[in-house]
């Protein structure tokens, strides 16, 4: 997109700046236009699954083919390309996980007594070999567009009668028929009988019919994934039931922790499978919705004695889709039940841990009280011991003064050593106790 391509010009050389995605959004509505088609035509349509690398290689291979023939290559980022190869037309489309090639070839009206789909598709499929196979082939359709001859006796000669689905469409201006089965060449045959639609309407009908076959095949990719996951989901479901039963009789922190670990492992396993299938089931749901919309658009009317395409797919395809969607719902419900069970176990473990912590705190309080009592006992003994040493010092001091005679000569008094020692005892006890009390008060441990 060049600068200003999607800007809005308002005159006098002025323009309103566009959002960076405006041009891409506008182009998306016209990404896959209907191509006018007139009967008789033969179309070989194929869809290939792609990854990111395969999509780039496919685009490069198509561009190389067009350049080699002097034809315009697809523009960068284009999702649709249409070129003419002599008498044949090639329509290429790029989608999220697949690409399609549709070769539109000339055909002849049926001769009297002739059958459609002649010559066989194998003799017409050589154009597919001009481009390297971009990925695994999933869809192959041989569509024959004919003018209506009002004769249908040949249908049972080219289709399996037990699977044949027919319907008048587009208000009766066309008929479509198929048995949804691969012919000996590997193509699913679809017959479209034109009763005066006109080129534009006929081109739209052909494209919608091809889309129905393409998307209904893509939608069924979810079934193998559902069948693969079903045994795992059933095993997880059974183990969850067993764990829930064990929860009722589990006692002790070790049992609950073991069950919790098992539930977490089951949840992780279930989540891994659900994550792996998330895209596939979501894509199947989207593809199935496209099929329903296309069937509604072509406005089927039943042909007596035959099911319509809608009736046939509802009977044959709907059970497969229900299998996918039911498994997806089971995954969601089991995940929720696992979460609920894990929450219950976590609550039980938390309660047991709180009880253990409470018992531990009670034990610590008891030990603290014992330590406090011991500390006070030691403090009492310390007061007595320190007081004893203080009184001893006083006794030694008084005894030394008395023995030296200093008391009589200098002080003019006579010191009675025993009396001084006895008087020092209560004073020492009181003083030491007061000091210890102040120290305890300073450390916030007062009485």
Q: 27-65, pLDDT tens digit by residue? A: 666 666 778 888 899 999 999 999 988 899 999 999 998
The C-alpha atoms of residue 327 and residue 313 are separated, in whole angstroms, by: 20
How confident is the model over 337-364, as a mean pLDDT? 80
Enumerate the β-bridge partners of residue 425.
Answer: none
Give pLDDT, residue 329.
Answer: 92
- Whether residue 3 has pLDDT greater than 50: no
Whole-number Å distance between alpha carbons of 284 and 219:
4
pLDDT tens digit sequence for 234-248: 999 898 888 888 777
| C-beta separation of 180 from 308 below 8 A | no
Q: Where are the domains of the chain?
A: 1-30, 33-215, 222-359, 375-442
- Is the bond into 40 cis (omega within 30 degrees of 0)? yes
Start-to-end C-alpha separation, the chain: 87
| Whether pLDDT at 120 is above 80 | yes
From the list 116, 179, 127, the residue with the least C-alpha distance to 149 is: 116
Taking Cα atoms as reference points, which of 89, 73, 72 lies closest to residue 37?
A: 89
Instruction: For 230-346, list the strands marked E by DSSP.
Output: 301-302
Please say whether the beta carbons of 166 and 176 come within 8 A: yes
E strand or H helix at 287:
helix 252-298
pTM of the model: 0.74
More confident residue, 171 or 423: 171
Q: What's the rounded Cα separation, in Å, for the pair 326 and 315?
A: 17
pLDDT tens string 281-324: 999 999 999 999 999 999 999 999 999 999 999 998 889 999 99
């Amino acid at each position: 997109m060049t600068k200003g391509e999607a800007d809005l010009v308002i005159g006098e050389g002025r323009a309103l700046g566009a959002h960076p995605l405006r041009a891409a959004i506008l182009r998306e509505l016209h990404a896959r236009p209907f191509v006018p088609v007139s009967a008789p035509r033969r179309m070989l349509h194929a869809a290939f699954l792609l990854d990111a690398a395969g999509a780039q290689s496919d685009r490069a291979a198509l561009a190389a083919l067009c350049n080699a023939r002097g034809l315009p290559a697809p523009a960068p980022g284009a999702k649709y390309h249409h070129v003419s190869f002599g008498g044949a037309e090639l329509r290429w489309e790029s989608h999220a996980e697949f690409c399609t090639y549709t070769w539109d070839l000339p055909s002849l009206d049926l001769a009297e007594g002739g059958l459609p789909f002649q010559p066989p598709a194998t003799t017409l499929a050589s154009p597919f070999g001009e481009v390297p196979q971009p990925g695994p082939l999933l869809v192959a359709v041989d569509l024959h567009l004919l003018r209506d001859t009002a004769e249908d006796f040949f249908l049972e000669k080219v289709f399996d009668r037990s699977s044949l689905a027919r319907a008048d469409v587009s208000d009766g201006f066309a008929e479509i028929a198929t048995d949804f089965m691969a012919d000996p060449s590997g193509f699913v045959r679809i017959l479209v009988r034109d009763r005066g639609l006109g080129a534009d309407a006929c081109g739209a009908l052909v494209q919608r019919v091809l889309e129905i076959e393409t998307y209904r095949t893509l939608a069924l990719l979810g079934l193998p994934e559902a069948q693969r996951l079903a045994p795992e989901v059933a095993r997880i479901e059974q183990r969850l039931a067993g764990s829930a039963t064990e929860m009722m009789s589990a006692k002790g922190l070790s049992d609950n922790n073991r069950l919790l670990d098992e539930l977490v492992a089951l949840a992780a396993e279930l989540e891994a499978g659900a994550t792996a299938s998330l895209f596939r089931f979501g894509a199947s749901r989207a593809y199935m919705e496209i099929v329903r919309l296309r069937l509604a658009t072509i406005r089927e009317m039943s042909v007596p004695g035959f099911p319509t395409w809608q009736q046939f797919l509802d009977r044959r395809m709907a059970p497969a889709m229900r299998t996918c969607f039911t498994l997806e719902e089971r995954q969601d419900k089991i995940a929720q039940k696992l979460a609920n069970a894990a929450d219950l176990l976590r609550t039980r473990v938390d309660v047991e841990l709180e009880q253990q912590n409470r018992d531990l705190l009670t034990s610590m309080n008891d030990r603290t009280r014992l330590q406090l009592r011991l500390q006070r006992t030691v403090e009492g003994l310390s007061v007595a011991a320190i007081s004893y040493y203080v009184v001893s010092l006083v006794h030694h001091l008084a005894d030394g003064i008395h023995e030296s005679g200093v008391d009589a000569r200098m002080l003019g008094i006579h010191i009675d050593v025993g009396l001084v020692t006895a008087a020092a005892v209560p004073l020492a006890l009181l003083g030491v106790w007061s000091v210890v009390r102040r120290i305890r008060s300073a450390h916030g441990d007062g009485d």
